Copies of this chain bind each other. A is one copy, B any other.
Amino acid sequence: MERRESGAIRVLQVGLGPIGLGVARQLAARPGFNLVGAVDPRPDLVGRDLAEVCGLVGAGGSAGTVDGDLASALQALRPDAAVVCTSSGLERVAPTLEACLAAGAAVVSTTEELAYPWRERPDLARRLDEAARRAGRALLGVGVNPGFAMDALPLVLTAVCERVDKVTVRRIQNAAYRRLPFQQKIGAGLTPEAFAERVATGQVRHVGLAESIGMIAAALGWQLDEITDEIAPKIADGPVASDQLAVEAGQVCGLIQTGTGRQNGQVRIRLEMEAYLGAPESYDEVEIEGSPPLRSRVEGGIHGDIATVAITVNAIPRAVAAPPGLLTVKDLPPAYCWVG
């Protein structure tokens, strides 16, 4: 038989926002993982029973408590792996990642800018790579987007090509079925003026297109001259609503964000993301121009929140088994939904 790893992986969850809480719940429920505790400084969470916070009371077994302090949790629990779900911004998350690595944990994080930081933040990437190597552990940025739908999945499809001329990915989502913070993040309900202001301050924005483009280019061996990332409002033609939000005609119902990667003036990678209330259909489409050409489509799209939580959990065994250093998902075998 093939060789298998055995023994549950002891995991510390860092950050209990919507995604972190979802990860904690899956870790507590899925075989192969042992959720040993969580860290979150929110006063309403500190000191509480983690199983209770996860809504798993009575399910049996212990998942530890919520610690307000990362250092004390790491020292007390010595986890095999830490899952960090605190912020999109890598500069802000870096000290947390470094602390987890220094404590000997492999680290998986949903920080969007960690998905492929080598091009956009090379100094920080080097610093984190060195921290991970010193610790003898892997550090891995994961997620659905960036991390899968617009980078890893199109890359996988290039495996059957002898030549790739251009990669186009379209991720179209009807945001009416996503949670309210997501609807707000895409600017739904704003006036066009307020939308423009929030784009200018970085409050309305999907983080990750530049990272996805950088990852695709690196994996295919392409030297890009330029990466662009542009945000435009989607204006509602007529009134449109979700359960949480109503948008009038002329207001913003979501965003259209487009990333491009150019080589010698030619667009070789184009990522089109549209997320708005009332999108007639949701789908994830990959189009590869090359030999052979290829068009792949996931009807209904890849469900944002469940999928993000799932791919994060599925990536933990990969990170634990990986060689030390800052890795990106393109460097590892895919994170299958393995039943431990």
Contact = CB atoms under 8 A, between A and B. Distances in A.
Nearest to A330: B333
Contact of A299 (B297, B309, B314, B340): B297
Contacts of A162: 26, 30, 306, 309-310, 313, 337
Residue among A315, A330, A336 having the largest count of chain B Cβ atoms under 10 Å: A336
Interface string A314-336: 11000000000000001111111
A249 interface: no
Given A162-B26, A302-B292, A338 B219 contact: yes
Given A303-B292, A306-B162, A338 B298 contact: no
Contact of A337 (B153, B163, B297, B337): B163
Interface in A142-162: 144, 148, 152-153, 155-162
B335 A159 contact: yes
A161 B340 CA distance: 14
A305 B15 CA distance: 48
Interface in A283-311: 290-292, 294-300, 302-303, 306-307, 309-311
Interface of A: 1-2, 26, 30, 32, 118, 122, 144, 148, 152-153, 155-164, 218-222, 290-292, 294-300, 302-303, 306-307, 309-311, 313-315, 330-340
22 contacts: A26-B162, A32-B221, A148-B160, A152-B156, A156-B334, A157-B298, A159-B337, A160-B303, A160-B307, A161-B307, A161-B314, A162-B337, A220-B336, A220-B337, A221-B338, A221-B340, A292-B307, A295-B299, A296-B298, A296-B299, A297-B299, A330-B333
